[in-house]
Amino acid sequence: MNETEKKRLLYRANYRGFREADILLGGFIKANIDRLTDQELDQFEALLSAKDHDIYAWITGAQDVPANFDTPVMQKIKAYRPSF
């Protein structure tokens, strides 16, 4: 993934419209974007197509993660702890 695509991904993760999702997804990608593989970045980008409230419920364990989003990057997001 080139730098322009990474910047777009950072923007999309930080400005979701649901503050909790902004914090979790934006914080995660900001902290990990240079450590993730291209495949993981693609998984993250695909995750951004889901609804914020669903993503938040999957991360917090309130709902089971659907198989198509139950990826290694989702496991990394679930393990991520933002610092304030």
Is residue 27 in a domain?
yes
For residue 34, the model assigns a pLDDT of 95
For residue 4, the model assigns a pLDDT of 95
CA distance 41 to 36: 6
Tally of structural domains, the chain:
1
Residue 60 lies in domain: 3-79
Is residue 42 in a domain?
yes
Is residue 84 in a domain?
no
What tens-digit pLDDT sequence spans the chain (84 residues)? Answer: 999 999 999 999 999 888 998 999 999 999 999 999 999 999 999 999 999 999 999 999 999 999 999 999 999 999 998 877
For residue 82, the model assigns a pLDDT of 82
Q: Closest by alpha carbon to 6, among 43, 50, 45?
A: 45
For residue 83, the model assigns a pLDDT of 77
CB of 42 within 8 A of CB of 58? no
Domain CATH code at residue 22? 1.10.150.250
